[in-house]
Structure 1
Amino acid sequence: MLKQGNPEEETMNFLTVGVNMRDVACSIQRAGSSVSSVNYFNPVDLSRCTKKSIAFLGCDRISTDGLNDESGSWKQFLFEKTLAALAKDNFDFIVPRINSEHIDPLKEFTQVLGNSLKSLEPLRDKWQCIRAASKHGLLTPKTELLTASLQSVDLEFPLIFKPIRGSRGAGLRKVHSPGELEALLVEKAVDKDRILQEYIQGESYNINFLSDGARAEPIFVSRQLFSDPENLVYSGSVGPVKPEGIEEFVEECMAFLERFKIKGIIGVDFMVDSEGEAYFIEVNPRIQGSFEVIEDSLGINMFDYYYRAWHGEIPAIPSSRRLAGKNIVTAHMDCRAPDLEGWGYIRDIPQAGAFIATGEPVCTVVATGITEAEVEAQLRKLSNTILNQMKPL
């Protein structure tokens, strides 16, 4: 479907832009198209499926420090390198995985498979989004807007502290007491609005929707995995799963998303508590981290489905062939990356010898199986195998 009508036409040329576009770029290549990439991270296997890749990080170090830089220098880097790539090559489409003020200006140069920042604003703003979802009739956690002038909090502890805008869980904290919240406010020197949210004890899930701008179709539900559950540090997912009794919730989410008329892949995070109640948490209007889990489970080319949805067609979603999962392995100590080339279940492969600090991502492991427990057990085993290869500095 990525050929433009006539199969004899030249292969289309894509440019992917984001924090880590390895999964998307490789999907584009498997679909038979040409792809280059501008990234924050610089995994070895990205270069295997791209004509050219440019990264903010060098090959000698893996660090997320730049992503937490509030100046956004890495976003400016991606924007400038994207402009440079556009000046050197003719791209049919740009495929972004970030929602940034730097994306809209790129539409002057070529087509962008990304929604305008204006159309995304009601969803990117977590305060606006949670209020709109509640008004729509979705069950949501109690939420308060935190400003410098707020004198008291009408929520029970523990609670969730999060920025109004952000992704990858950046700035998200679980707060256990008023004293801890006060210390956090001093640490963060609240100069931007943030929200405080009721903590829902239960399992965390994500729904992937595919939207053509008018209709939002649910295609996959996954259970989210956390390397540090206490601090809600996301590490991967397993799916498809079917939490009992969420059919009505999914239908309500569909109707809610269709109000905004945005296209592409849209993720909805939700929690299911011990009584089986589903709580809407937030919307992530971009390509999800479960992108390759869906491919491994359904046996489809996910980028082909994404591209077709952007052009007004939502293909039929096949039944899953198996369960699939991924887990981001994080370093437990300062170390050098081992040589992980040739390990079939490893993706986002680091350059051998690259410095990796404690808590930073090493690579991604993937697994498939018949049950959730089987897949998760495989992911743990594979992750431990990688960690056992790591040697302290």
Structure 2
Amino acid sequence: MTETVLVAGYATRHVARSARRAGYRVCAVDHFLDIDLGWNVIDYAGFEELADLPAAIDQICSRNPIDHLILTSGAETIACPGIRRAGTDPETIQKFLDKSSIQKFFSEIAVPHPTLAATGEFPVMIKPVSGAGGWRNAIVRTEEEKKAWIDGMELPYLCQQFISGLPASVSCVSDGRRAVAIASNEQILRGFGDSAFGFAGSITPCDHPLADRMMAVAEHIVAASGCIGSVGVDFVLSDEAVAIEVNPRFQATLDTVESSIGTNLFTMHMDACFGRLPMARPRPRRYAARRILFAEKDCMIRSHLDRFGAIIADIPRPGTEFSEGDAMVSVFGSGESREAALRMLDNHISVIRQYLE
């Protein structure tokens, strides 16, 4: 009998699509409720604030028998008694949602990572202790800049040594004791404004001399973490592979990973939850790229973008309003080389941009 999974979190489209392609019946609780989420689920519910998410989960569960619960960003620690959680337990997840705990963990297992900055040391990377996606991270170079960031955020924070280099990540699967690296990824960041370090896309595989070393370090990290299922590790590649964070959930690189290796990541996640890991790292078949397009000004989508479903994802409905800086849509490209994948991506972006005003 086909099992039903509930995918819940702030953004779930990528996981829901992978789960459907893996043969599951899929329900979702999601903030955006994009058009292509509806293509992949049998039922869904929305929420505005994260505090409303548990009620939306209860709403779905009242209408559907759920066999497995998959929690994505924003929902990782929610308790849902009576539903089997497929993934890392809440206590372990909580450890890796706290960046100060991650700092201590990296020290304990002796992997290269940014050190905590000393008082008066500049420049430094300042970031909230909790939160995903890098949106609030910033480089501060003076006490005045540091104070302005603290006053503007009003959140617990930490300051780390700033490491320059290529932002990258590794996607792994783990059974809680062993881990296998599935793919290396080059991360695309916003690169400007208040969200300069915010995630804006990925290229899989990562073309860097340290990519293999990074994958080995990621396997060591994830195996020691106790996390189960799909787990990601963020890095900066400079003179060495420097570990930045652990993401104990499906990552935003899922689309390019699956496109590159030609293997369903949700199936690998569920297998890992039951103690089954790949015998070896998958070999990439091609390069895959994804870029998130952001609103350059306040605007409304009037076009029916679903007709471009072969080259885009996270498709907004006509009439959706965006404020300047909001994520609007994801665009894809692929090819036999990194350059070919980026050329296709740029061509697709040129096509889509004319419909975003």
TM range, normalised to the smaller chain?
over 0.9
Contact kept? 2:170, 2:214, Cα under 8 Å:
no
Q: Could you list the per-position Cα deviations for residues 80-113 of structure 1 after superposition, in whole angstroms to 9, with x for gaps in the alignment?
A: 110122122211111111364752x21x222111
1:136 corresponds to which letter in structure 2?
I
Say which one has the larger Rg.
1
1:42 corresponds to which letter in structure 2?
L
Structure-1 residue corresponding to 2:190: 227
| C-alpha distance in 2 between matches for 1:11 and 1:198 | 49
Structure-1 residue corresponding to 2:291: 327
Give the structure-2-normalised TM-score: 0.92
2:344 corresponds to which letter in structure 1?
Q
User: Secondary structure of 1:224's match?
Assistant: strand
Q: CA deviation at 1:298?
A: 1.2
Q: Which residue among 312, 317, 338 is the counterpart of 1:346?
A: 312
Q: CA deviation at 1:48?
A: 1.1
Q: CA deviation at 1:229?
A: 4.9
User: Secondary structure of 2:69's match?
Assistant: strand
Structure-2 residue corresponding to 1:15: 6
| C-alpha distance in 1 between matches for 2:198 and 2:64 | 38
| Aligned residue pair count | 352
Q: Does 1:209 align with 2:184?
A: no
Q: Could you list the per-position Cα deviations for residues 283-319 of structure 1 after superposition, in whole angstroms to 9, with x for gaps in the alignment?
A: 1111011111111111111111111111110134432
Contact kept? 1:174, 1:232, Cα under 8 Å:
no
Q: CA deviation at 1:250?
A: 3.5
Q: CA deviation at 1:164?
A: 1.1
1:269 corresponds to which letter in structure 2?
D
Q: Which residue among 101, 112, 137 is the counterpart of 1:139?
A: 112
Q: Does 1:184 align with 2:149?
A: yes
Q: Could you list the per-position Cα deviations for residues 221-242 of structure 1 after superposition, in whole angstroms to 9, with x for gaps in the alignment?
A: 0000012356212111001124
Residue segments in structure 1 that go unaligned for 5+ positions in a row:
1-9, 58-73, 145-151
Residue segments in structure 2 that go unaligned for 5+ positions in a row:
none
| C-alpha distance in 2 between matches for 1:119 and 1:240 | 28
Structure-2 residue corresponding to 1:359: 325
| C-alpha distance in 2 between matches for 1:297 and 1:277 | 25
Structure-1 residue corresponding to 2:160: 197
Structure-2 residue corresponding to 1:65: none
After superposition, the Cα gap between the structure-2 partners of 1:371 and 1:246, relative to the gap in structure 1 and judged at 3 Å, is closer
User: Secondary structure of 2:136's match?
Assistant: coil
Matches for 1:32-47 after TM superposition, within 5 Å: 32-47=23-38
Q: Could you list the per-position Cα deviations for residues 158-205 of structure 1 after superposition, in whole angstroms to 9, with x for gaps in the alignment?
A: x2111111112243222232211122222234xx53101122121100
User: Secondary structure of 2:341's match?
Assistant: helix
Q: Does 1:265 align with 2:230?
A: yes
Structure-1 residue corresponding to 2:65: 90
Contact kept? 2:173, 2:231, Cα under 8 Å:
yes
2:233 corresponds to which letter in structure 1?
V
Q: Which residue among 310, 334, 353 is the counterpart of 1:387?
A: 353
Aligned-pair identity in percent equals 24
User: C-alpha root-mean-square deviation of aligned residues, in Å?
Assistant: 1.9
Contact kept? 1:228, 1:234, Cα under 8 Å:
no
Q: Which residue among 351, 369, 385 is the counterpart of 2:335?
A: 369
| C-alpha distance in 1 between matches for 2:104 and 2:282 | 34
User: Secondary structure of 1:207's match?
Assistant: strand
Q: Could you list the per-position Cα deviations for residues 16-56 of structure 1 after superposition, in whole angstroms to 9, with x for gaps in the alignment?
A: 10111111111221222211110011110111111111122
1:35 corresponds to which letter in structure 2?
V
| C-alpha distance in 2 between matches for 1:298 and 1:136 | 29
Q: CA deviation at 1:348?
A: 0.8
